[in-house]
Amino acid sequence: EPEVTQTPSHQVTQMGQEVILRCVPISNHLYFYWYRQILGQKVEFLVSFYNNEISEKSEIFDDQVSVERPDGSNFTLKIRSTKLEDSAMYFCASLSTTQKDLYGYTFGSGTRLTVV
């Protein structure tokens, strides 16, 4: 069964450093999402991406964060200057164009980001 893959599985970085989280969505999917989950808290929406541009972003998604689809397959989340409060699990998800509003997402295995 097709799956969403994320790398790295765990990233430790110093505060103020840049990190790039990578995702390879399912190949025929066109809608992509990033969510995060701070330890013990709910899964929160960060950003949605369609047709090579951001379609919606949350208030968490500030000007230090960007998303790209650099090569037509990978989907990346970049945090330019990490803060301690960015420590969380980051999940990528994708969805096919068919009946977009009816299907739940397929999530990747996640990247645990630890900012020290």
Residues numbered 4 to 63 that lie near other proteins (CB under 8 A) are 33, 35, 41-45, 48, 56
Report helix, strand or coil for 84: helix
* Amino acid, single-letter form, for residue 74: N
Contact 47, 32 (CB under 8 A): no
Cα of first residue to Cα of last residue in the chain, in angstroms, is 37
Q: Which stretch binds other proteins (CB under 8 A): 15-23, 59-67, 78-86, 100-108?
A: 100-108
Tokens of 35: 């969510």
Give the one residue of 1, 53, 59, 101 binding other proteins; rule: CB under 8 A. 101
Give the one residue of 32, 61, 75, 91 binding other proteins; rule: CB under 8 A. 91
Q: Minimal distance in Å, beta carbon 79 to other proteins? A: 19
Contact 76, 7 (CB under 8 A): no
Give the one residue of 2, 38, 60, 103 binding other proteins; rule: CB under 8 A. 103
Give the residues lining the site for other proteins (CB under 8 A): 33, 35, 41-45, 48, 56, 89, 91, 100-110, 112
